[in-house]
Amino acid sequence: MRPSRTIDISTGLFVLLGFAAILFLVTQITNREFSLRSDSYRLQAQFENVGGLKPGAPVSMAGVTIGRVESIGYDMDLFKAVVTLRIDTRYDRIPNDSDASILTAGLLGGQYVGISPGGSDESFRDGDRVEFVQDAIVLENLISKYLFSQAGSKDRGDDSPAANPAATE
Amino acid sequence: MKALALDLAASLARFLERLGGLARFALSLLWQSPGALLRPRLVVEQVYNTGALSLVIIMTCGLFVGMVLGLQGHDLLQRFGSEEALGTGAALSLLRELGPVVTALLFAGRAGTALASELGLMRATDQISAMEIMAVDPMRRVVVPRFLGGVIAMPLLTAVFIAVALFGVQLVGVQLLGVDQGQFWSQMRGAVELGDVREGLVKGFVFGVACSLIAVFEGYNAQPTAEGVGRATTRTVVNSAVVTLVLDYMLTAIML
């Protein structure tokens, strides 16, 4: 058996290395940047359709992340999705006529909330509602809209293409 | 036909007997564990034996697992034109599955066999009986510190494995194959939740308990012959691997 001092030192090094690895995993590869600071305020926005937006998705202005989506709920009175945004207090002068839209990062990327500033002199306060919103774009809706518009322009004057799709051939 | 049925019944009875013995052994280990913490020196020695001495093999294997993951992941993702997702895919698969499972298999091969053969040899050379004669409880003096050492070492080894493997992925993906560094890390950070890290560490801990328990149980109850020690060592590796993979499925089903 080796002298116990060597054992102690190597065990200490091993444990230190283990905890350093855990610390690395927790701080470097997870998205905890905003949950560490609690200085933030909340905004609400109502959408007809949030698409694939998830809690924790970034809220960005001009591509800079200024907050996170805190929660997504459904309002049974309005029949709309209610999205709560948590914005860092460093960004506390957003005009209160700014609009929020749900956008997609890249082709396979996740969805996020983009805010483009308006022209008002007053800024959002904690708990305010974002009035101007733009829903998530659902690909199927876009495609069907395009298809129907194509069909409609071809046989204008005929029967409605939706009622009689076979007529387009 | 009747002989076959009798054989089956006998082997079933043997299996149940062994399972019951394992449960009883585990309970008495748990019962004795707080007492062993009063003598931390013995536990520290075993953390050194099972943890610090396994570090080199864990880091080497982690590096190569990560590098292979980088190559394969890059090849696959290239077909979809989204090489930047390499960091996300590698980090999630390492944290959730590969890290804990491969670490547990290596741990069983490196530390589990050492524990089992050491205890088996103590049994075969009557050292354990000698302790009992001297009124030293071999469970408390020998078995519990080895078990605790393994339980403490496994989660730390898992974390080291994952961190080194991520370095390997980064090495191949970013340095060799030219994935954009910023995209690699930021997509990873965007997708990995704290829960994924927790899942990996919880799995590492559970596998550590299972593998250490199997190793000390097989070693302590080995037949006191040269052949018996060998068989105990083999059984340690085989049983640890099977139990690890079965537990992995169960834990994944619970935590996903």
The ipTM value here is 0.79
* Shortest alpha-carbon distance between residue B14 and chain A (Å): 38
Please provide the average confidence, as pLDDT, over all residues in chain A: 80
Span A50-96, pLDDT tens digits? 887 877 788 888 888 888 888 889 989 989 999 999 888 888 888 98
What pLDDT score does A38 carry?
Answer: 61
What pLDDT score does B111 carry?
Answer: 93
Q: How far apart are CA B165 and CA A79, in angstroms?
A: 47
On the question of pLDDT at A131 being above 90, the answer is no
On the question of pLDDT at A157 being above 80, the answer is no
Q: Cβ atoms within 10 A of the Cβ of B65, count?
A: 22
- The residue of chain B with its CA nearest to that of A24 is B163
Cβ distance A51 to A111 under 8 Å? yes
Span A15-26, pLDDT tens digits? 899 999 988 888
Say if B18 falls within a structural domain: no
Q: Do A22 and B166 touch (CB under 8 A)?
A: no
Say if B113 falls within a structural domain: yes
Span B177-229, pLDDT tens digits? 988 877 788 788 878 888 889 999 999 999 999 999 999 999 999 988 989 99
Does B63 contact chain A (CB < 8 Å)?
A: no
* Shortest alpha-carbon distance between residue B85 and chain A (Å): 9
On the question of pLDDT at A107 being above 90, the answer is no
Q: Looking at per-residue confidence, does B16 or A8 come out higher? A: B16
* Shortest alpha-carbon distance between residue A17 and chain B (Å): 7
- The residue of chain B with its CA nearest to that of A56 is B190
* Shortest alpha-carbon distance between residue A54 and chain B (Å): 11
- Give the nearest partner residue to B44 out of A11, A17, A109, using CB atoms: A11
> How many residues are there in chain A?
169
DSSP-based three-state secondary structure for A75: strand
Percentage of residues in chain B with pLDDT exceeding 90?
A: 61
Say if B22 falls within a structural domain: no
On the question of pLDDT at A34 being above 70, the answer is no
Q: How far apart are CA B109 and CA B34, in angstroms?
A: 28
Q: Do B159 and A11 touch (CB under 8 A)?
A: no
On the question of pLDDT at A168 being above 50, the answer is no
Rounded to 5 degrees, φ, ψ at B51 are -95, -65
* C-alpha dist (Å) from residue B128 to A133, B34, B121: 75, 21, 9
Q: Do B193 and A31 touch (CB under 8 A)?
A: yes
Domain that holds residue B45: 41-255
Q: Report the DSSP beta bridge partners of residue A86.
A: A42, A68
Q: Mean pLDDT throughout A124-148?
A: 85
On the question of pLDDT at A160 being above 80, the answer is no
What pLDDT score does B84 carry?
Answer: 81
- Taking the CA of residue A135 as centre, how many other CA atoms within 13 Å lie in the half-sphere pointing to its CB? 13
Does B173 contact chain A (CB < 8 Å)?
A: no
Angle of helix B86-93 relative to helix B55-78, nearest 10 degrees, comes to: 140
Q: How far apart are CA B140 and CA B145, in angstroms?
A: 7
* C-alpha dist (Å) from residue A99 to A43, A109, A115, A135, B111: 12, 22, 6, 11, 59
Percentage of residues in chain A with pLDDT exceeding 70?
A: 82
pLDDT level of residue A126 (50, 70, 90 thresholds): confident
Angle of helix B2-36 relative to helix B194-220, nearest 10 degrees, comes to: 110
Residue given tokens 């499925």 in the structure block: B249
Does B44 contact chain A (CB < 8 Å)?
A: yes
- Give the nearest partner residue to B162 out of A7, A25, A107, using CB atoms: A25
What pTM was estimated for this model as a whole? Answer: 0.73
**DSSP letters along B62-129, please?**
HHHHHHHHHHHHHHHHHTTT-GGGHHHHHHHHIIIIIHHHHHHHHHIIIIIHHHHHHHHHHHHTTHHH
What pLDDT score does B100 carry?
Answer: 95
What pLDDT score does B236 carry?
Answer: 94
Say if B48 falls within a structural domain: yes
What pLDDT score does A133 carry?
Answer: 86
Does B52 contact chain A (CB < 8 Å)?
A: yes
The domain segmentation of chain A, as residue ranges, is 1-30, 42-141
pLDDT level of residue A33 (50, 70, 90 thresholds): low
- The residue of chain A with its CA nearest to that of B77 is A108
Mutate to test the interface with B, among A1, A11, A28, A54 (most CBs of B within 10 A): A11
Low-confidence stretches of chain B (pLDDT beneath 50) = none
For residue B160, which residues of chain A lie inside 8 Å, CB to CB? 17-18, 21
For residue B189, which residues of chain A lie inside 8 Å, CB to CB? 28-31
Q: Cβ atoms within 10 A of the Cβ of B93, count?
A: 15
> How many residues are there in chain B?
256
Say if B56 falls within a structural domain: yes
- The residue of chain B with its CA nearest to that of A5 is B45
What pLDDT score does A37 carry?
Answer: 55
Domains identified in chain B, total number: 1
What pLDDT score does B229 carry?
Answer: 92
Say if B239 falls within a structural domain: yes
Say if B6 falls within a structural domain: no
Structure tokens at A47: 């959408």
Span A43-58, pLDDT tens digits? 999 998 888 787 778 8
Q: Mean pLDDT throughout A4-21?
A: 87
